[in-house]
Amino acid sequence: MPNGHRLTTPQLIYLVYGAETYHQEALFSIASAVAGLRKTPDEALDIQVFTDNPAPYEGLPVRLRPLDNETRQAWIEPYGYHFRAKHVVMQKVLEEAEVALLIDTDTFFHCSPLELFRRVQPGTLLCNAFGMNYGTNKDAGLYLTLADTLRQRQLADDDMPLLNSGVIGLNCADASVLDRSIALMDELYPLAQGAYTLEEFCLSVAAYRSVQVRECPDLIHHYWSRKQLFRAKTKAWLDKHHAAPICQQALDETGQVTATLPRPPTFQRLAYKLITLALPSHKRQFMREILYGCYRHTNQFDQACAPVWWEKALENVEHRLEKPLQDHELKRWLNHPLIRLVLGERREAIYEHLMQAKGN
């Protein structure tokens, strides 16, 4: 698109393909964006969704950009590194628009999305958040494999901040940042030994000393950590509002899906700790996490996280034991007299849920 004919409306971009879970995440993120736009009613925003499955987004105020497998494969060449597609799609949009912001699906907004765009000025990259400096952990894989090369070429040093790329916001004048990041991915991928975070690392290198970098963790929540708990919250919202995801009630209730980890209050956790002191030491943390899932939250979407706590309890104890907990062992643990007393009728439901989670 010729420079004189670029879209002037800010473009909020989602790239969604693959498993249903990612589409569910995107649907809630979009709904939270639409809810937030009610705070800036006199300002325009376009939402574009590049996707292999347009069906979930029908009826939403978005521009669908069909993404076929051939195109997606071209975007992740030459090594099949799928995060490379994030930077390519931003390149495409910035050829059409003055300003664009790509946001990961595992996010939701605390405000109008336009507040993020206010931080995307010429000469500025907006990321989700700053991490540690590159040289803070010299045992990290990307430091061991790449630091010498990047230092010799004066591309990075120990003081370079590492960026979280859950948000990538740029003005079209700074699209060259993406040119550099893609070139770095293609060059460094064979050296990086399959590093999962190479994409955001290359964005960090491309931006370093070339543009100002800003962050926005105060404006969005990016739930890359504790993902299963937040997926349970958003899934509960979708189950309730799938028929009308942008009706007034649905949009209002996006605000009830909070960034707060759904744990019992401090005094209740202390009570659980005291109760479980009577158990053998290797069972105590397991039981505490089981009890976290038994706490009754007033927030309906926090309450939906109960089964996740039970699953996490099992996952964590198996990690500590360094072996799977066999079915008969799990049953015996839950049959402990104290556990039977504390859990009451919930004990059977918890056991049945964990058996299903284990695929039994």
pLDDT tens sequence across 136-170: 999 999 999 999 999 999 999 999 999 999 999 99
Check pLDDT > 90 for residue 225.
no
Handedness of CA 152, 158, 159, 161 (dihedral sign): positive
Q: What is the predicted pLDDT for the residue at 101?
A: 98
Comparing CA positions, the residue from 60, 66, 51, 65 lying closest to residue 18 is 51
Averaged pLDDT for residues 338-357: 93
> Are 127 and 206 spatial neighbours (Cβ–Cβ below 8 Å)?
no
Residue 2, pLDDT > 60, answer no
Indicate the helix (H) or strand (E) that contains 186: helix 176-188
What average pLDDT does the segment 217-228 reach? 94
Cβ neighbours of residue 214 under 8 Å, at least 6 residues apart?
A: 119, 124, 125, 126, 127
Q: Do residues 149 and 179 touch, judged by C-beta distance below 8 A?
A: no
The set of residues, in sequence order, having a beta carbon less than 8 Å from that of 35 and lying 6+ positions away, is 109, 251, 252, 254, 255
Angle, vertex CA 299, rays to CA 293 and CA 301, nearest 5: 70
Confidence of residue 186 (pLDDT cuts 50, 70, 90): very high
Residue 312 predicted with pLDDT over 70: yes
Distance CA 84, CA 68 (A): 16
Cα separation, 171 vs 99, in Å, equals: 4
Element (DSSP H or E) covering residue 12:
strand 11-16
| Mean pLDDT (whole number) for 81-95 | 98
Q: Two tokens at 85?
A: 């597609």
Q: What is the pLDDT of residue 11?
A: 98
d(CA 356, CA 360): 5
Name the band, by pLDDT with cuts 50, 70 and 90, for residue 3.
low
**Can you give the pLDDT at residue 360?**
65
The DSSP-derived string for 326-346 is: -HHHHHHHHTSHHHHHHHTTH
Q: What is the DSSP letter of 284?
A: H
Query: Could you give the CA distance from residue 69 to residue 164 in angstroms, rounded to a whole number?
Result: 27
For 321, the 3-state DSSP assignment is: helix
- pLDDT above 70: percentage of residues in the chain: 99
pLDDT score of 112:
98
Handedness of CA 328, 330, 331, 333 (dihedral sign): positive
Q: Check pLDDT > 60 for residue 347.
A: yes
CATH class for the region spanning 3-222:
alpha beta
Give the pTM.
0.94
Q: Which two tokens stand for residue 337?
A: 């007299």
Among 180, 65, 70, 50, which Cα is nearest to 125's?
A: 180
